[in-house]
Structure 1
Amino acid sequence: MREKKTQQETSIGTKSVWAGEREYLVHGATQVPVVLSVAYGYEDMDEWYDVAIGKKPGHIYGRNTNPTVNALEDKIRILEGAEAATSFSTGMAAVSNTLYTFLVPGDRIVSIKDTYGGTNKLFTEFLPKLNIEVTLCETGNHKEIEAEILKGCKVLYLETPTNPTVKITDIARMTKAAKKVGALVIVDNTFATPINQNPLELGADIVLHSATKFLGGHADALGGVICGPKNLIDKVYHYREINGAAMDPMAAYLILRGMKTLKLRVTQQTESAMKIANFLQKQDWIEAVYYPGLESHPHHDIAKKQMKGYGGMLSFALRGGVDTVRSFLPRLQLANRAANLGAVETTYGPARTTSHVECTPEERSAMGIPEGLVRLSVGIEDVEDLISDLEQAFSYLSGK
């Protein structure tokens, strides 16, 4: 007789549906409820105190914890194979709260030039004001990154694949260097998702997600989550509970609901992105296609080693730059032209109005982002329809 599997032993697709929910179900419900209460009452003063100081499980106030939010944290924690997780109102709140927790004046952080625009602004504008030294290395230049790490740093911050140029960094290799100097390794895993990559298994200390994107998958809720060892996550949770960037329980519910189809969505998006990337490579109007699944990608071998799939994100540079972008994007019919990604609908957007709108053209150029670059978040539509849509838009350009 076959033994009954526990949830921890099931596949990641099954965990996406079931993990972390059962203890939060009430009244026979099969779905986690949205608990909108700000405060939680206690008749027994000693029990109230024990919950308040963390001696007993429970909830006191919505800025600290919430049952719906806890269910989401548990699900993501299990998918990433982590001991603990905590959440935030947005993905950038997850990034900033985590960095501010572990960095103090005089510290040094090493990262890469190609991080998301908001993260890059933390590195170039906000952290230096706190007398925190920031060194940004060429993404993919592993020898340069290693050399800067070995000079000493408090934090190594990686984003892989990067937004929007989908460059790849060898997490295991960089983590090995970071451990030599006692640095904390934080990895933004938003583009890959737990379906395609698990940074903790590769040696990272903390894995971070903008849950707004692929985890939620429906472009209707903001949120951020980090996972890792309890001793580290507890420190970030304490910073967040005092500084107030708590996730809204309704947002947590929407992301939790979206995550039930995470494996299905990401699998479809990954397969479609590969086909679209191959199609784009053959088009006369394309100067370059950026997708780690392509053998022409400079970091393809690293991606192949550390990722289970190459993801639903790619980008491409159009010949003619911004002027071509202005003509091309409005012709697409199966497309949201918007500053978002990871949704069920396909979304296009130039880096200059989406991921790096905060940066100047000169700053984007220094990061290797052409003004004619378009970020493409592949949805779950039939890929043949998406390719046909691209074909008619290219035909329009050629017929002008």
Structure 2
Amino acid sequence: MPDKKTHFETDAIRIQTPTTGEREHSTPLYMTSSFTFESAEHARAMFAKEIEGNVYSRYSNPNTDEFIAKMCRMEGADMGVATSSGMAGVFGCLAGILNQGDHVLASRSLFGSSHQILSQILPRWGISFTYADVGQTDSWEELIKPNTKMLFLETPSNPGLDLIDLEWAGNLAKAHNLIFVVDNCFATPYLQRPIEFGADLVQHSATKFIDGQGRAIGGVIVGSETYMEKIQFFTRHTGPALSPFNAWLFSKSLETLPVRMDRHCDNAETLAGFLGVHKNVNFVKYPFHKDHPQIELAMRQMEGGGGVVCFEIKGGYEKATSFIDNIKILSRSANLGDTRTIVTHPASTTHSKLTEEERELVGITPGLIRIAVGLENSADIVGDVKQALE
């Protein structure tokens, strides 16, 4: 493993599983469900955790270990767990720590499935929640109850790209002894590191920018040892393990994360600039665009604006669906973080399970379009958006 003083790009490439006797340059795949023991005593000591090593790939595997080690170094975390999907990671952060009677204070601007876990699943076990509005942070402290145990948020938010001041949120959590959890999927650790602002846990859907090529599903949770030990226990025994193959893909993908994110940011900023002056657009939101109401905050806590742009098209639902239907080069999909630019209508897809009132509260209007900007030539991306708008 490289020295702690090495840079992000070097860590992404050089943190690697020790080589075998074959002296391979690239980490091999460890496609095995279990591992053998040297003796009965060796097996006993492994299960007693007296010595470290691999027992079963649901617990650990050299490929998942390498992926976790990279993510921990990048985020500045003590330890981590790799999960079968990003939502398994969200659920692990919540169910792995919270108990019956606990309360969660969450940002209202969350991904649709995160909302479903908070509103439909956790209440079955007596865990309640309250939403706090991103634009009314002065009221957050008033929403904290005696049984509030966790502050859960994502920034930038999906799909509205609302930002939350991580330093402020970290101070709020510390003042009230709350477990501070951040979904850092949109920014990635290359652009934003919430632990530096006081986060206890950071969660990612590795399916998105971590993989970056639309190939595999997975997630990862990293954070302080105090909470990660509980989450590790929960995930080991409930089974949302990441496959060795997907872990191998994600670890290799991290080697190119910096160069990919630089291109995502450049292309997204170009597209936002075009949309910001188009006659058929009501507004555009991109963290580093001059019209974003929180651009100063974005530039203070992020290294770049990320790869997602959202905008509201004039004419509402009818014009939004017409725009999507007239796209010729870009992809119509509900995913994001791919090399390919993806166009999504959140109100009818990713956030369709929210009520109309719930969507309005977080700015998901019938005319809102989310574009996950890929790595194609920026002129081609803008050109396709332009012809579909017009």
Return the offset for 1:366: 3.0
Deviations 1:327-353 (A, max 9, x none): 111222231110100011111111124
Specify which of 213, 232, 237 is matched with residue 218 of structure 1: 213
1:347 to 332, 342, 346: 342
Matches within 5 A, 1:108-187: 108-149=103-144, 153-187=148-182
Aligned length, in residue pairs: 390
Residue pair 2:19, 2:25 contacting (<8 A) in 1 also: no
Q: Alpha carbons of 1:382 and 1:318: their partners in 2 closer, same or farther (altered >3 Å)?
A: same
Q: TM (normalized to structure 1)?
A: 0.94
8 Å contact 2:183–2:204 — kept in the other structure?
A: yes
CA–CA distance in 1 between the matches of 2:260 and 2:66? Answer: 21
How far 1:365 moved relative to its partner?
A: 2.1
2:299 aligned with 1:304, yes or no?
A: yes
Change (3 A) 1:112 1:28: same
- Taking the aligned partners of 1:101 and 1:314, their CA distance within structure 2 comes to 33
RMSD, aligned α-carbons? 1.6
SS in 2 for 1:136: strand
Instruction: Write out per-residue CA displacement over residues 84-123 of structure 1, whole angstroms, 9 at most, x where no aligned residue.
Output: 1111000000000110011111111101111000001112
Q: Does 1:9 align with 2:5?
A: yes
- 1:398 aligns with none
Distance 1:43 1:170 in 2: 52
Of 230-239 and 355-364, more deviation after overlay is shown by: 355-364
Contact 1:340/1:354 (8 A) holds in 2 = no
Matched, 1:228 2:233: no
Runs of 4+ in 1 over 6 A off after TM superposition: none
Identity among equivalent pairs (%): 31
| Distance in 2 of aligned mates of 1:206 and 1:288 | 33
Aligned to 1:106: 101
Question: For residue 323 of structure 2, what is the aligned residue in structure 1?
Answer: 328
**Which sits farther off after the overlay, 354-363 or 57-66?**
354-363
User: Aligned partners of 1:212, 1:11: CA distance in 2, in Å?
Assistant: 24
Flag the 1:202–1:341 CA change in 2: closer, same or farther, 3 A. Answer: same
What's the counterpart of residue 65 of structure 2? 70
TM-score scaled by length of structure 2: 0.96
Give the structure 2 partner of residue 85 of structure 1: 80
Corresponding residue for 1:362? 357
1:37 corresponds, among 32, 35, 47, to 32
Name the CA shift for 1:231/1:47 in 2 (closer, same or farther; >3 Å): farther
Q: Deviations over 1:246-296 (max 9, x none)?
A: 001111111112111100000110111111111101111111211111232
CA–CA distance in structure 2, aligned partners of residues 50 and 192 of structure 1: 41
| 1:242 counterpart (209, 221, 237) | 237
Quote the Cα distance in structure 2 between the aligned partners of 1:6 and 1:209: 24
The equivalent residue for 2:50 is: 55
Partner of 1:196: 191
> Partner of 1:381 in structure 2?
376
Structure 1 residue 223: Cα displacement? 0.6
- In structure 1, what is the Cα distance between the partners aligned to 2:223 and 2:283? 36
Unaligned runs of 5+ in 1: 396-400
Q: Where do 5+ consecutive residues of structure 2 fail to align? A: none
Any conservation in 2 of the 1:25–1:33 contact (CA below 8 Å)?
no
In structure 2, relative to structure 1, the CA distance for the partners of 1:94 and 1:45 (3 Å cut) is same
Paired residues of 2:112 and 2:351 also in contact (CA < 8 A)? yes
Question: How far apart, CA to CA, are the structure 1 residues paired with 2:142 and 2:21?
Answer: 54
